[in-house]
Copies of this chain bind each other. A is one copy, B any other.
């Protein structure tokens, strides 16, 4: 119930946890850092997955599946890659349990030690490129446009539901190309798909950009990203698309014969988004009454609540019959709708519950409404209600859903744009970070050392160098050294 939510003002972090738990999206599990995704949260993920999957397939990608376990030696083949992932690897060392000879239950069987340890994939570049070696001989075998939906494990010490968990669900695209240009075009295309998905489906505006060397994926030449802004003024990286150059092809010796009969290393990309997007969606839109779901992804778009007078069985029947007709029409138009006629709870309780769960539209219908041929329609985003004619109700609802979707985007866009602040001095930089938050657009001298120092001093990182960034001469806010463009700093999830 909404009354038990912590408010954003009071404790943003607690508000988020309350929402995820009480909104029915997820639960803690008995395994440190791992979460249970509950049916409502998984329904949201299914809608996200299905839409992304369609976008991947429309651009020529196919799904495949590669092993969960990666030999330790594979992970080590690309130097930057192992450097980036070594500290968070779950390691399988044995393949059998046995009864403890001392009678203390079950123990790991010391005789079942693996010759080489296996790592639970933190990402699959190495196992996939070891496979691509067998799939590619000639330019005719390229491109390979493959995506995988999978679970991965990165042993994080500090975890947060959806935002940072030891195990998470994601998709990882891994493509192989004959030329550098084609691989870069793929990297950019997939970034555009992520941006389109975030904006059109999640109603969450994003900035497209390139990461600095410090924030680059371990093993990439360039990491492109989309960055979103949360309501507490912190940034959130929502998706990344990597141009890997020939790094993995060289590590796994994947070569092909080109049209001129020359042998070349293959060019690679990889790109991924994860269940982290659910955390982003929650934090971008929700309010102190609960979740606010964008209609295009909401597991349930419309809920209909009857206002019964139980003594009047005839009116009750009339309500049920009318709702049956409404539901049928809505479902025929592809609207995800449900009749909540559970008679063990009262309408007020249901209203609060559906508000908490962020159902975009609620329809309430009572005997007197019926006489007047109207229903009460409430929208979750603005928490407004109006009386609406039963005539043309399906059209009204469809228009309303579209309106909610665009209103949510516009609200988030306005907030985001109000939270990009240009600053030209260190004092201003720190003040904006501390008092206002959001993205701070500032000059930087281009060195990792300066970036590290700024991070150390303020906890802000460079979220990205936006694509199509205007070039202008300026001076680094920290060192005063010359700079050719502004970059976006923020504290981030």
Where the two chains meet, the residues of A that have a C-beta atom closer than 8 Å to any C-beta of B are 27, 29-31, 34-39, 42-43, 45-46, 62-76, 82, 86-99, 105-106, 108, 117-120, 127, 130-131, 134, 140, 146, 150-151, 153, 155, 167, 169, 344
Contacts and interface: CB of A to CB of B under 8 A. Distances in A.
Contacts of A98: 86-87
Contacts of A96: 86-89, 91, 155
A446 B45 CA distance: 48
Contacts of A72: 97, 106, 108
Contacts of A39: 62-64, 146
A171 to B, nearest CB: 13
**Copies of the protein in its oligomer:** 2
Contact of A91 (B70, B92, B119, B131): B92
Contacts of A120: 68, 92, 120
Contacts of A167: 67-69
29 contacts: A29-B66, A29-B130, A29-B131, A30-B71, A34-B68, A36-B64, A36-B66, A38-B64, A39-B64, A39-B146, A42-B63, A42-B65, A43-B63, A46-B63, A68-B153, A69-B153, A72-B97, A72-B106, A73-B105, A75-B97, A76-B106, A86-B106, A88-B95, A90-B118, A91-B93, A91-B94, A92-B93, A93-B108, A140-B344
Contacts of A34: 67-69
Contacts of A63: 39, 42-43, 46
A37 B148 CA distance: 10
A90 B92 contact: yes
A91 B94 CA distance: 5
Contacts of A35: 67
Contacts of A70: 31
A22 to B, nearest CB: 13
B131 A67 contact: no
A74 B88 CA distance: 24
Contacts of A94: 90-91, 93
Given A42-B63, A93-B108, 15 more contacts: A30-B127, A30-B130, A37-B65, A43-B62, A69-B167, A76-B105, A76-B106, A87-B96, A88-B96, A91-B93, A91-B95, A91-B96, A96-B155, A97-B119, A150-B151
Question: Taking each of A34, A45, A106, A134, which has the highest tally of chain B beta carbons within 10 Å of its own beta carbon?
Answer: A106
Contacts of A76: 105-106
A64 B89 contact: no
Given A95-B155, A118-B31, A75 B106 contact: yes
A339 B119 CA distance: 42
A108 B118 contact: no
Contacts of A67: 29-31, 34-36, 167
Contacts of A119: 97
B86 A91 contact: no
Contacts of A27: 131, 134
Contacts of A140: 344
Q: Which of A46, A94, A130 is packed against the most chain B CB atoms within 10 Å?
A: A94
Contact of A89 (B30, B46, B90, B97): B97
Nearest to A106: B76
Name the residue in A30, A36, A42, A82 with the highest tally of chain B Cβ atoms < 10 Å from its Cβ: A30
Contact of A93 (B75, B87, B93): B93
A218 B332 CA distance: 45
Nearest to A40: B62
Contacts of A31: 67, 69-71, 118, 127
B151 A68 contact: yes
Contacts of A150: 151
Contacts of A131: 27, 29-30, 36
Contacts of A75: 97, 106
A299 to B, nearest CB: 9
A106 B84 CA distance: 12
Nearest to A30: B130
A30 B74 CA distance: 9
Nearest to A69: B31
Contacts of A108: 72, 91, 93, 117
